[in-house]
Amino acid sequence: MARKRDREFLHTPVYEELVAGSLSEPDLYSLQPRDVGGALCETIESYFLRLAREHCVSPRTLHKLLIPPGSPMHQASPREGLLASLSGAQKSWYFFMLAERLRVCTKREDVMACTVQSLTRVVQFSSRRGRRHCPLCERDRAFGESWIPFLFEVGCVTSCPVHRVRLVASKCGAENGFSLPERQRSRMPGVCWTCGSLNFRCVNAPVEPSWLSEDWTAKQVAEAVALVTGGDAPKPKCIEKGLSLLWQRAEIDASPDFRNWYTGVVKRRVRRVGREGHATLHDVLYACMVLRLSLRNLLLGKLVFEPAPIMLPDDRLTRSGWVQIALPSTFRRKHQKMVALDAE
């Protein structure tokens, strides 16, 4: 269904307007995205807010400069609000079109890395409700240097891979319900959107050390984000190869209890969605943890195992979020043949 919608979108006035270059190109500052090629690469929403701050305009004003009112792209823009269409891991066609406009107007090719588009083609993320941040990261940053990492938007990530502490909710903790008027609220990364406190100093949540399983999960997803933002795009064939090797090792080297869980849970969750199957990242990370295989090597199709054992995850891991990895339909057929040959 997604490919069909993409083909239909190629014949819409919005796409023709962008390709023809009929939209005006305002001369915007060539602002460099934060930590491109690293684990804490910022989201396109964070880049958009920082770009609006550099021009001393509101995000809505910058949106009007990029997409003039009355154009087909403006008429097709989401009605639920600008920030709602940019926040989290929502990857709609409008999201990438606006990112393309930012790339053209800022003349920076690394802006598209903030969308993590090469990873979202094979991985479907689901973000948590509400924003989160690392309290130690915010304390170390000066005013104007904060950004929103894409890693913290992933639902299964619950800790910071740099400081190894749990993420806290970016909810205002000001006493007596103090809040600024709507016109005085600042839409800036690292600033509380309710009371305007810098570096979320109003949040009084304690700093708690994370578990080893949480650190391992954050490290694996961080390596995957750094892989795609650095220019190495994973291909579906590599993922198919990696999952095939992972499945073979699970049936040969793993314990009987793990094989029963793996064949019962993972195979059951590989369901048909259009012409592709999907498996949750929680199951894939669990299999990688038991079999000592990194997620980065899985995306590259490499079978390189970790030398030291890793602590198993607990039941409280990834309750609120899930991620899906797309499996080609040919993988299911090959795996069914492999199982039939092993049974003989």
In a domain, 73, yes or no: no
In this prediction the pTM is: 0.75
Asked if residue 250 is part of any domain, the answer here is yes
User: Is 120 inside a domain boundary?
Assistant: no
How far apart, in whole angstroms, are the C-alpha atoms of residue 2 and residue 150? Answer: 23
For tokens 């984000």, name the residue.
Answer: 225
> Is 313 a member of any domain?
yes
Average pLDDT over residues 37-46: 88
Average pLDDT of the residues of the chain: 70
Q: How far apart are CA 278 and CA 315, in angstroms?
A: 22
Per-residue pLDDT at 322 exceeds 60:
no
Beta bridge partners of 279: 325
pLDDT at 206 over 90: no
Q: Measured between alpha carbons, how far is 69 from 75 in angstroms, rounded to an integer?
A: 8
148/286: higher pLDDT: 148
Instruction: Give dist(CA 222, CA 55) in Å, integer.
Output: 31
pLDDT tens across 230-288, in order?
877 776 666 666 666 666 666 665 556 656 655 555 554 443 322 344 556 666 676 67
Confidence grade of residue 56 (pLDDT, cut at 50, 70, 90) = confident
Report CA-CA distances (Å) from 25 to 57, 66, 105, 240, 283: 17, 7, 6, 41, 45
Residue 307 lies in a domain: yes
What pLDDT score was predicted for residue 14?
A: 52
Which secondary structure element, helix H or strand E, spans residue 336, and what is its range? helix 329-343
Judge contact between 112 and 103, C-beta under 8 A: yes
Q: Specify the pairing of strand 323-327 against strand 132-133.
A: unpaired
Q: What are phi and psi of 293, to 5 degrees?
A: -125, 135
Residue 26 in any domain: the answer is no
pLDDT at 39 over 80: yes
Say how far residue 238 (Cα) sits from the centre of its chain. Answer: 20
Long-range pairs for 46-49: beta carbons < 8 A, 24 or more residues apart: 46/114, 46/147, 46/148, 46/149, 46/189, 47/102, 47/111, 47/114, 47/147, 48/86, 48/98, 48/102, 49/187, 49/188, 49/189
Q: Which phi and psi angles does 279 have, rounded to 5°?
A: -130, 140
Give me the pLDDT at residue 166, please.
92
Specify the pairing of strand 323-327 against strand 276-280: antiparallel
Q: Is residue 78 part of a domain?
A: no
CA 159 to chain centre: 15
- More confident: 339 or 281: 281
Tally of domains within the chain: 1
Q: Is the pLDDT of residue 160 over 90?
A: yes
**Structural domain for 322, as ranges:** 234-343
Nearest to 127 by CA among 318, 327, 266, 271: 318
Q: Which residues contact 75 (CB under 8 A, 6 or more apart)?
A: none
Sign of CA dihedral 94, 100, 103, 106: negative
* 151 domain residue, yes or no: no
- Where is average pLDDT lowest: 108-112, 195-199, 263-267, 329-333? 329-333
Lowest-pLDDT choice from 154-168, 296-310, 326-340? 326-340
Radius of gyration of the chain (CA): 22
- The DSSP secondary structure of 201-219, one letter per residue, reads TT------BPPHHHHHHHH
The mean pLDDT value for 22-32 works out to: 75
Helix-helix angle 281-291:236-252, to 10 degrees: 50
